[in-house]
Amino acid sequence: GMSGVTGAALRETSFINRSLSALADVLGAIAEQRPHVPYRNSKLTHLLQDSIGGDAKLLVMLCISPGQKYLTESMQSLGFGTRARQVQRGQVKKKNFPLPSKAK
């Protein structure tokens, strides 16, 4: 591929890509308000389930490049960002935690 990685690094890249694909599937299911959200399709989405599906804000940062060499990757990143942006969340509820009392 473009990255030029081989061996163990290639396997790691493959796992990362599968996790990101699973994350995109989860965000798509939430955006489309499907009854089933496939959180268990990857360790990443399973671990992030409470953050993605709970009372939390979700921030997605994208890394894109203006270079023609990276056009495909940049377009894929922008597509992912577009899907993530379609997720409509309810209003985040403020949680009040009691302050610890000072020891005397």
Residue 16 confidence class, pLDDT cut points 50, 70, 90: confident
pLDDT at 36: 95
At residue 96 the predicted structure's pLDDT band, cuts being 50, 70 and 90, is: low
pLDDT digits (tens, 9 = 90+) for 33-73: 899 999 999 999 999 998 887 777 778 899 999 999 999 99
Q: Of 30, 17, 34, whose CA–CA distance to 77 is shortest?
A: 17
Task: Kindly state the average pLDDT of the residues 81-86.
Answer: 87
Q: Tell which CATH classification among 1.10.287.3510, 3.40.1280.10, 1.20.58.980, 1.10.275.10 matches the domain 7-85.
A: 1.20.58.980
Distance in angstroms (rounded) separating the CA atoms of residues 43 and 16: 11
DSSP 22-55: HHHHHHHHHHTT-S---GGGSHHHHHTHHHHHSS
What's CA 24's distance to the chain center, in Å? Answer: 7
Q: Is 83 left (phi over 0), alpha (psi -120 to 50) or beta?
A: alpha
What is the structure's pLDDT at 72?
92
- What does the pLDDT read at residue 4? 72
